[in-house]
Amino acid sequence: MNTRFGHVTYTKLGIRLSTLVFFCKDFEIDLLQNRKPSSVTNTLKEIVLEDNFVFFLLENKTFIRIYNLDYYSNKTIEIISNKIGRQEHEIQQFFEARKYKIDNRYPLRYISSYKIDYELGGDYNFLRYDKDHIYKGNFEYRRRELEQ
């Protein structure tokens, strides 16, 4: 399996390379920690990822693509609030605490509603990569295990 970072993002996940970098940063997933030791390169897209980490990404492909759409879409505090199920004042406080300038004449972009929810204490445990778990590239087998 081709596990070059660029190949995985473009062909397997169908997103921009930079989007996966933002995604990993937003959810505290250490991308470089999950590369093959022999993968030393000057360009990020040429890094070779561990097979198991690629399967982890594939298991979360649907959420990663939802994140991708949300990250680049225009949104307001009201839209973010409705999307993640939090009060508008919580979202407002999030931006104020980070000294983020909000101008009501322009929509918010290049920030994920899910990152905001994550930082406000939302449950994203499914994004915790466990090196000891053997991922298979889809979530259905894990769902069956959890139901038993």
Residue pLDDT, tens place only, 71-111: 999 999 999 999 999 999 999 999 999 988 888 788 998 99
What's the angle, vertex CA 72, arms to CA 68 and CA 74, rounded to 5?
A: 135
Determine the average pLDDT of the residues in 20-42.
Answer: 81
Q: What pLDDT is stored for residue 19 in this prediction?
A: 95
Which residue, 40, 28, 36, is CA-closest to 53? 36
The pTM score is 0.85
Q: Do 67 and 100 belong to one domain? A: no
Q: What pLDDT is stored for residue 118 in this prediction?
A: 98
Q: Does residue 137 fall inside a structural domain?
A: no
User: Phi, psi (5° rounding) for residue 37?
Assistant: -55, -30
Query: What's the domain count of the chain?
Result: 2
Q: Does residue 94 fall inside a structural domain?
A: yes
Residue 54 maps to which CATH number?
1.10.1660
Identify the domain containing residue 20 by its residue range: 1-71
- In the chain, the percentage of residues whose pLDDT exceeds 90 is 58
Q: What pLDDT is stored for residue 146 in this prediction?
A: 46
Q: Do 62 and 92 belong to one domain? A: no
Terminal CA-CA length for the chain: 31
Q: Do 14 and 54 belong to one domain? A: yes
- 146 HSE (CA, 13 A, CB side): 6
